[in-house]
Every structure is written in structure tokens, then in C-alpha cells.
Amino acid sequence: MKVEYKQLQIAKDGVPGLESMLAVLLGTALEKPEWRGKDLVAKAIDSIGLPDDLRNATSGSSNANTIENRCWWALFELTTAAMLERPRRGYYQITELGEKLYHEYGFNLTRNLVHQQDAYQAHLAEIAQNNQANDDESDDGNGEGAELRAEDEADDSIASASDAPKDARVEALLPIAQELIEYVDWALAHNGGDYDADKAQDNRWIRGFRKRDKLSEIVIGGREIGWNFGRAFGGSHISATPYLNAGVTNFTYDISDPNHPALRVDLYDDRANNKTTLFATPLSGAQVTADEIRVVARVFWQEVDKHPKEEDKVKTTAARPEIKAPEIEKYARALTTSANVIFRGAPGTGKTYLAKMVAAYIISGHTTTSVKDLTAEEKTRLGFVQFHPSYDYTDFVEGLRPHVSKKDEQMTFRLEPGTFKAFLQDAIDEQTANGDAAKPYVFIIDEINRGEIGKIFGELFYAIDPGYRGPAGAVSTQYANLHASDDADADKLYVPENVYILGTMNDIDRSVDSFDFAMRRRFRFMNITADERKGMLSELKNKQNLAQTIMTDLNVAIEHTDGLNENYDLGPSYFLKLSEISPAELWSQYLEPLLAEYIRGMVDDQRQLEAYKAIFDAAVKKAGATSQRGDGQAAGVATAGETSGETGTSSTTATLVAAESDEPADSDEPVTSDDPAKSDETPSSPAATLTTGEQDE
């Protein structure tokens, strides 16, 4: 066969990559029934017509020939996958499987496809069962992919399936893992468990507190290796579980118990959005041995292979079609246009739930409104916090936190990041890597008006303004003088353009002060009404009519009560409780205490509460009557709307008249909406106000 090398996938060093040589070797093997290993490699290389400088290029401290080394690698993988076989020592021939896949895929053949073959999977399973390092592994020591070359022995055979090639990535990871472990041990023994930037400069690989894998220059087998000594913006203290990672797979040094350290392989769970430990091994002595690292590194790479890079696989989001959600789209468009939005509205209107739906819709690229359906990566782009009176700047941005040394039990204070600052750093990393194509990040602040806004946001009061987003709007934090860096500009904080802030609040909470007017200017306010959110009641099924009737009639009464308005409406969330409790329990345990608080201090507040109770009882009775007529759920809902808004003889009005009239409560002639004569009676104040208001509608 003959192919121009420029048609192949070229690696960064200008030499064709290992993956390209898979098809070249198979095509060459087809040319005759049997090949000596070194002849097959030589013929394959000759067929691609490499220039002399690339043909003779070397890599690694052993100066192994680059293209030959990659061919031996490819030969090993093809043999392991049973696409080539060895009829006798030192000789190779193509199998039916290899011939079939070559003709089917040609130069589109990938390593991933090779690794999916049954023989290769069986080989991986064998490795998992036998976690002992082979004595005959070889290492060129360069650490930059650790490309090993299986030397052609005197008998012309390359390394067998138990030899070095299968562990090349393990050997590449070995010095990096050793560096991580040695640095952590030094920090614990000599620096109080703190990270030291100057000391890190002595490292060969890991020169920073953390680095996301996709921004890392450490690449092994095509996978970038990131690291983290602690949490994002984690101050200077090293966490109990520092790690290396490739995608969602972590190689973790667990020092949570300093007396019994361990090495682990962790995986982020797509559903739970947390780490799941897949493999762990305790360490036998004071020093971590190379063999102990190799055992865990093998499992690490097996898991990495199961979770390829996003760009190398069909993304989960690509498999999810875009959905049509007009209501959510309205709010999502407002947020992405204005950057900062606050949902305000009556209690129980599902503002927080709606905020999460909008966030999921934006983050997923309009493919879902459920946070549960987001991938693990997508969930990292959703932040959530709830403000309260004791929440402050140190919780949100950064501040000093006490730490007790396990060594001498002395307490010290360390600078730690707040929830929002840590979230911002991830968004900044994303924007730095992808610019205008950066993925969106949504930060939800629940009950935003229950905190003291000015003290919580501090100087970020300026930076969140849509007009001052990005590096140009960077500000120094209150603790800037405690940052480790000498570069004041580098330590400044800003809010990138790919961050959207979504708050929720209600205006009637008497426990908090009014929302800061300067902060109001930075947000777009959208009112969420109970009527807009009544679709939430659909999950009640056969109780939907009951819930909607009660909600509608009570809200009409509330809106026509002096001193109250639509901001005091009862939202659907209260009535969802009917799926588990009775109407009587709903009234006594939820609605009555809330309504009593609404009217506390008003004239005749007790009589007003009794009027609300009468409306509640009438609504329950009306919903039951509708069901008994067989009108169905939809008809019942319509009836509730008609009687409360279109006629002057609604049950709301009539029942309130009965409750507020001068007749004794035990009258033998109760007033109902079925009695026109009774409906025409003029009730005493304040029922008359409610009656007039309803008839005017």
C-alpha cells in the first residue's frame, strides 16, 4: 500500500500519530500472509513516505525513534484486540477481524474502536484482576507521554501482551503522581499543611494550586491531566483529598486520616454530582512506593478509557433534542439578555423551582428544564445559595476561617473563598479557554432580599453590573493584602460575561429591610403570579380541581381585603400538600397561620379570619359538588373561575356575607350561592366591599 503521510493524523511533533498507524499496519499486513515484526514496522513506515527529518526524529531521554515507537505501540494494540495474531514467535499475520475492520473503516479506524473489541476488553479485565506491576516494564523516563518502545529481541519477537506497552500511560503518570504525593507530604510535615507557591516552582510538572485538565499542558495518551490541591479558591490550605484528573476520573491521594493514607480512583456521578470511589488501596508504609502508584494508575486509566473526552464522543446534550418550552424560554431570554434577573412574587408561587428550570434550560442548551437531567459537567455550571440575615461577605466572597492543626491542635485563621468567588473562578477558566464560545454559568440566589445585600456583595456590587462585566470591571477584594501573589492585578476579581445571576424574593417578608435601591438598578425584576403558576397543580391529578378552586376563591378574597393586594396571594405550592393531607389539615396547619399573620393588627382581624375560613369551606364544598355532577376536572376548574369572577352570586361573596352578617352563626337558613334572594342581601362592612368588588369584575 502507499499513502502520503500528510493525509494521516499528524501529532504536535509533526510525526503521524499512533492512531493513524493502526490502519497503515493493517493495510501493510494484507500484502503477504506473514511478516516478521521488525519488517512489518519498517514496511509500514516506508509506505507513508516520511521526510528524513521526521523519519529519524527521536523522543524521550532514551532517544527512541518516534515513528518506530508509535508503530510498535500500534502493533501491540492490534495484537491485543485480535486484529493481528502471532502464528509463531516474532511473526505477525492479519486476522479475519482485522481484515474486516480495515475494509470497513480504512483510515477512519480509531483506537477507541480497537479497544472495544472483545479480546481487548478481556485483556483489560485481566489487568483489573491482577494489580501487580510487571518486573519487565521499561520506562524512557521523559514523562511527556512516556513513549515506550518494545525492543525487537534476538528472536525477532516484540514484547508480549504482559510487557511494557500496556502500561506506558501508567509509567507516564507515575512521576506526576509521585510529585503530587511528595509535595503534599512536604506541606504536611514542614508547612502546616499549606500550599507554598515558591516551593511549587521546584516541581517539574505541578506548578500551581490547581489547573483544570482541559487547560493543562500535561498530556498522556491524548488526555490532558489536571490537578487540584484543594477547593477552588481554597486559600492556601491543602485539602484532605488532593488529586490528578482526566475528565471525570480522579487519581486521589486520600490523607483524610494522616495515620492511614490511601490512594483512590474516584468518579463523578452524573446523577448525584459527587465523587464515587471506585477503587481504593491503603498504603503499606511511610513512603508511597512506585508499585503502589502503578496499581491505582492502572485502574485510573481503565476508567478514563470508559469516559472519553467530550470532543471525542457523542455528547449527552447532542443526544437530547431541543425542547419547546415557551414559558421557560420567556424567562431564559430575559436572563441571557439582562444578565441579572430577580423573580419576585407571592409566597408559594414556585419561584425557586422556576429558577432551577430556567437555569437547566440555559445550561443544557435548551434541551431540558430538569436539573436532574443535566450531566455532571453541566451541573458544575449551576450554583445555588440561599441568603439569610446571618449570611455575609465572608460566606459569599472570601474571608478568614479558623483551622485547627491536627498535629499540635493550634488554631489558626486562613483565607478561604466564598461560594460565589469559587463559582466565578470556574466560569473565568471556561471563558479564558473558549472566549466568546464559553459555556453559560447560572448562579441562583434564593431569598436574595433576606440578606444584607450591601454587606454580602461588597465591591462586587460594582462588578455584577452588566455594564462592567469582564476583566475591565475587576475589583480588589477586602482581603487582597492576604493573597499569596505579589501581582495585585492578578488577584483582582471580576464577573465574566458568561455568568448569569438569578435571584428570588417576595416583597411582603416583614423580617427583612427593603431591597437596596442601587442594587435594584442592576437587576431586572419579573413578577411571578399565582395565576401564572397554577399549572403546577396538574400533578395533583384528581385533586387539581379542589386545589385550584380553593386557591382562586381565597386569592380573590385576599386581593379585596383592605391593606392587602395580589402580592399576598397564596401560590400553588401550598395546595400541592393536598396530595398528602386533608383540606382540614391544609387549613389549620398551613393557611390559617399564614392568613392570620397577614391580617394581624387589623380591625376585627378575627372576624376577617373567620370570613376566610368560610370561603375556604365553601370552595371545598363547591369543588366536591362539581365532581359529583360528573363535569370532570376541566369543567370544575372553569366553574371556579366563572363563579368567582363573572357572577354577582359567587360562593365567595355569599359565604363571606354569611360570615360577616349580624345573623347568629347557628342560623337555620345558611346563605348559599344557590339562593338568589340571599345573594341580593346587603351585608355589613367589610363584606360589602368584597361583594361590590366581585360584582364589578
pLDDT in tens, 113-167: 888 898 888 876 765 555 443 333 333 333 333 333 332 332 332 222 233 344 6
Q: What is the mean pLDDT of the chain?
A: 77
pLDDT confidence tier of residue 687, bands split at 50, 70 and 90:
very low
The residue-averaged pLDDT of 606-616 equals: 92
pLDDT of residue 381: 92
pLDDT confidence tier of residue 680, bands split at 50, 70 and 90:
very low
Q: pTM above 0.85?
A: no
pLDDT of residue 675: 38
Among the listed ranges 69-73, 104-108, 173-177, 352-356, which one has the minimum average pLDDT value?
A: 69-73
Delimiting residues of CATH 3.40.50.300 domain(s) in the chain: 325-528
pLDDT confidence tier of residue 80, bands split at 50, 70 and 90:
confident
Q: Which tops the pLDDT comparison, 551 or 401?
A: 551
pLDDT confidence tier of residue 596, bands split at 50, 70 and 90:
very high
Among the listed ranges 87-101, 471-485, 643-657, which one has the minimum average pLDDT value?
A: 643-657
pLDDT of residue 588: 92
Q: Give the span between the Cα atoms of 495 and 369, in whole angstroms.
A: 25
The residue-averaged pLDDT of 487-499 equals: 80
The residue-averaged pLDDT of 288-296 equals: 88
For the cut 70, the answer to whether the pLDDT of residue 435 exceeds it is yes
DSSP annotation string for 617-649: HHHHHHHHHHHHHT-HHHHHHHHHHHHHHT-TT
Residue with cell 493550634: 410
pLDDT of residue 129: 59
Grid cell of 111 as nine digits:
483506537
pLDDT confidence tier of residue 273, bands split at 50, 70 and 90:
very low
CATH of domain 5-126: 1.10.10
Local structure of 282: helix, strand or coil: strand
pLDDT confidence tier of residue 106, bands split at 50, 70 and 90:
confident
For residue 224, give the DSSP letter. E
pLDDT of residue 485: 56
Q: Which tops the pLDDT comparison, 139 or 549?
A: 549
The residue-averaged pLDDT of 86-114 equals: 86
Among the listed ranges 35-44, 52-61, 413-422, which one has the minimum average pLDDT value?
A: 52-61
Question: Which amino acid is present at 469?
Answer: R
pLDDT confidence tier of residue 343, bands split at 50, 70 and 90:
very high
Alpha helices in 35-157 (DSSP H): 37-47, 52-55, 66-80, 96-105, 111-115, 118-129
Cβ-contact 589, 583 below 8 angstroms? no
Cβ-contact 362, 442 below 8 angstroms? yes
Main-chain dihedrals φ then ψ at residue 356, nearest 5 degrees: -70, -35
Among the listed ranges 311-315, 404-408, 508-512, which one has the minimum average pLDDT value?
A: 311-315
The residue-averaged pLDDT of 488-504 equals: 86
For the cut 90, the answer to whether the pLDDT of residue 587 exceeds it is yes
Q: Which tops the pLDDT comparison, 512 or 399?
A: 399
Neighbours of 38 (CB within 10 A): 16
Q: Is the peptide bond before 496 cis (omega within 30 degrees of 0)?
A: no
Domain 325-528 CATH (choose: 3.40.50.300, 3.40.50.11290, 3.90.1170.50, 3.40.50.720): 3.40.50.300
For the cut 60, the answer to whether the pLDDT of residue 639 exceeds it is no
pLDDT of residue 527: 92
Q: Which tops the pLDDT comparison, 218 or 355?
A: 355
- CA neighbor of 310 nearest in space, from 220, 167, 439, 128: 439
For the cut 60, the answer to whether the pLDDT of residue 459 exceeds it is yes
Q: Which residues contact 383 (CB under 8 A, 6 or more apart)?
A: 419, 420, 423, 441, 442, 443, 444
Q: Give the span between the Cα atoms of 400 and 644, in whole angstroms.
A: 57
pLDDT of residue 133: 38
Residue with cell 483489573: 128
pLDDT of residue 153: 31
pLDDT of residue 632: 42
Main-chain dihedrals φ then ψ at residue 197, nearest 5 degrees: -65, -40
Cβ-contact 306, 288 below 8 angstroms? no
Q: Return the bridge partners of 272, or none.
A: none
Neighbours of 327 (CB within 10 A): 14
Cβ-contact 299, 249 below 8 angstroms? no
Delimiting residues of CATH 1.10.10 domain(s) in the chain: 5-126
The residue-averaged pLDDT of 210-235 equals: 77
Q: Give the span between the Cα atoms of 484 and 67, in whole angstroms.
A: 45
pLDDT of residue 82: 92
Grid cell of 206 as nine digits:
505541578
Residue with cell 500519530: 17
Neighbours of 70 (CB within 10 A): 25
Q: What percent of the chain has pLDDT over 70?
A: 75
pLDDT confidence tier of residue 382, bands split at 50, 70 and 90:
very high
pLDDT confidence tier of residue 339, bands split at 50, 70 and 90:
very high
For the cut 60, the answer to whether the pLDDT of residue 310 exceeds it is no
